[in-house]
Amino acid sequence: MTLDRFYPIFDSCDWLRRMLPLGVKLVQLRIKDAPLDIVRREIVEAKALCDAHGAVLVVNDYWHIAIDAGCDWVHLGQEDMDNADLNAIRRAGIRLGFSTHDDDELERALGFAPDYLALGPVYPTILKKMKWHQQGLPRVTEWKARIGAIPLVGIGGMRVDRAAGVFESGADIISVVTDITLHDDPEARVKSWLEVTR
């Protein structure tokens, strides 16, 4: 299965209801610090919305709910991997993407036969504090050479004007958060992203 090259991340179904009709075909639902009943409701609704629009839903972290909801994809950060039952996830037929930031994390993720790998932050990011300031485009090229056919997702500080360089450096997919969610006109921004990634 070939994943779309544009991969926005949103924290609620409110965003999905706005963006899926524009043509988004790959989306991650990343909810942090919410009660489990709300998370479950959001994931179930997100799955229905994505199914209705022919889009792929990736659930961040909540793999047990993703299994219950019949989801097809889960994304795990390095910390999430410590607590996830990877065998149960695979038995459920769920595909896995992992976050990676350095050599050790890459080797660890490769050991789990990932369906995609994310490298970040490619550029400085305001989304969350992390010890990695920025990886840079040469690291994108290096990672792609190392992982071969596994799809590589570039994330962190992504903007429309940076897309061409990130793809040229070897990324297969670009993941975007604040460039959309903090934009004055998120819908227009998504349309711009669709233009540069299709």
Domain CATH number, residue 46:
3.20.20.70
Gap between the Cα atoms of 150 and 157, Å rounded: 22
Predicted pLDDT at 128:
59
* Residue 111 DSSP label: T
pLDDT tens column, 7-26: 999 999 999 999 999 999 99
Domain assignment present for residue 96? The answer is: yes
198 domain residue, yes or no = no
- Domains in the chain: how many in total? 1
pLDDT digits (tens, 9 = 90+) for 135-187: 999 999 999 999 999 999 999 999 999 999 999 999 999 999 999 999 999 99
Sign of CA dihedral 129, 130, 131, 132: negative
Q: How confident is the model at residue 127 (pLDDT cuts 50, 70, 90)?
A: low
**Structural domain for 87, as ranges:** 6-193
Q: Is residue 151 part of a domain?
A: yes
> Left (φ > 0), alpha (ψ -120 to 50) or beta: where does 121 sit?
beta
Q: What is the dihedral of CA 152, 157, 163, 167, to 10 degrees?
A: -20
Give the CA angle between residues 9, 14, 164 to the nearest 5°. Answer: 30
In a domain, 103, yes or no: yes
* pTM of structure: 0.96
